Amino acid sequence: MVNMSENIKYDCVVIGSGPAGLTSAIYHARAGIKTIVIAGNQPGGQLTITPMVENYPGFPDGVGGFKLMMDTQNQVKKLGVEIKSGIVKKITGNFEIELESGEILQGKTVMVTTGAGVKWLGLPKEQELIGHGISSCATCDGMFFRDKTVAVVGGGDTACEDAIFLARFTKKVFMLVRREEFRASLAEQKKVLENEKIEIWWNSEVKELNGEGKLESVKVLNNKTGEETILPLDGMFVAIGYSPATKFLEGLVKLRETGQILVNEKMMTSVEGIFAAGDCVNENHRQAIIAAGEGCRAALEAQNWLKYH
């Protein structure tokens, strides 16, 4: 299936430049595996929009997400790995990677680490307030809102988990649920309903974000009664889902219904020689340390595969 002719320039083409992709590149470089990283449209991945990371080992005072990823990128470059801007359009059966620019690269193996993008509300001011009151990661940013009033937007398992987590140290948590019921598991629903610090607003949609420089309040519409309410907040966590960046793989490798890539115990996809790691694989634990670990594991498995192919 793989053309092993001499014109193949790379042993591995890594698609994605977040924690999983850069970690895999580090391990490849140290093993003498000729590697290139295709950085995508957000070099460094989702972590670059996280103002402060406090749960990554080795940083007792925390570290800015952008700094962490730029330092990791510099580490990769120092090891001699090329990092190339570009977005992958498609991968053919013989591991030719076509970029949107029209350029074609070829590797003996492919490492997909494209991550998953947050589904935002799409409201004015939303993007500029990320890191200034608006977040998509309660685990990452929750501690900045100790004894504050926050809201969680969403009604699924992630939203319920976020609300329960935030209720441990915030003063008050509002859950803004678009429907009149949760989509979460009964176990998660029970935890939320029994928590006195969590107040649920059913049939509620955020229509407006208010604040200059930081979030101060949101306008909430009750989609059943039509009533609008201004809700003062210190922070708001958007938990309406993630979209794995895997559309370019449709028809090539097996995907879950949710879009994540199916891999086996060796981090290999349904196509031999194509490996995957990080948030494009893991739909339950979107953490930088897990993505980095999976990137390492996938790299080691790919190196072992290359020995025999």
Can 10-117+242-307 and 127-238 be said to share one CATH topology?
yes
How high is the pLDDT of residue 186? 94
Q: Which fold has domain 10-117+242-307?
A: FAD/NAD(P)-binding domain (3.50.50)
The yes-or-no answer on residue 140 being catalytic is: yes
Tokens representing residue 301 in the block:
């498995």
DSSP state of 279: G
Write down the catalytic residue from 12, 140, 160, 296.
140
The yes-or-no answer on residue 160 being catalytic is: no
How high is the pLDDT of residue 265? 97
DSSP state of 260: P
Give the C-alpha separation, 152 to 250, whole Å: 32
Give the C-alpha separation, 269 to 272, whole Å: 7
CATH 3.50.50.60 fits 127-238, yes or no: yes
Q: What end-to-end distance do the CA atoms of the chain give, in Å?
A: 11
How high is the pLDDT of residue 5? 41
CA neighbours closer than 13 Å in the CB half-sphere of residue 70: 8
At 86, which helix (H) or strand (E)? none
Alpha helices in the chain (DSSP H): 19-30, 65-78, 138-141, 157-166, 186-193, 288-307
Each domain of the chain, given as residue ranges in start order, spans 10-117+242-307, 127-238
The DSSP-derived string for 144-212 is GGTT-EEEEE--SHHHHHHHHHHTTTSSEEEEE-SSSS--S-HHHHHHHHT-TTEEEETTEEEEEEE-S
At 105, which helix (H) or strand (E)? strand 104-112
Write down the catalytic residue from 12, 137, 160, 296.
137
Instruction: Give the residue carrying structure tokens 């969680």.
Output: 152
Would you give per-residue pLDDT tens digits along the chain (309 residues)?
344 444 568 999 999 999 999 999 999 999 999 999 999 877 888 788 777 788 899 999 989 889 999 999 999 999 999 999 999 999 987 899 999 999 999 999 999 999 988 889 999 999 999 999 999 988 888 999 999 999 999 999 889 989 999 999 999 999 999 999 999 889 899 999 999 999 999 999 999 999 999 999 999 999 999 999 999 999 999 999 888 999 999 999 999 998 999 999 999 999 999 999 999 998 777 789 999 999 999 999 999 999 998
Residues listed for the chain: 309
Nearest to 280 by CA among 20, 11, 6, 97: 20
Backbone φ/ψ region at 154: left (φ over 0), alpha (ψ -120 to 50), beta:
left
Alpha helices in 3-156 (DSSP H): 19-30, 65-78, 138-141
Instruction: Give the residue carrying structure tokens 């595996």.
Output: 33
208 Cβ neighbours under 8 A, 6+ residues apart: 123, 124, 218, 219
Write down the catalytic residue from 12, 61, 71, 141.
141
The yes-or-no answer on residue 157 being catalytic is: no
b/e sequence 290-305, b meaning 16+ C-beta within 10 Å:
bbbbbbbbbbbbbbeb
How high is the pLDDT of residue 85? 92
Give the C-alpha separation, 245 to 265, whole Å: 21
Give the distance from CA 300 to its chain's centroid. 22
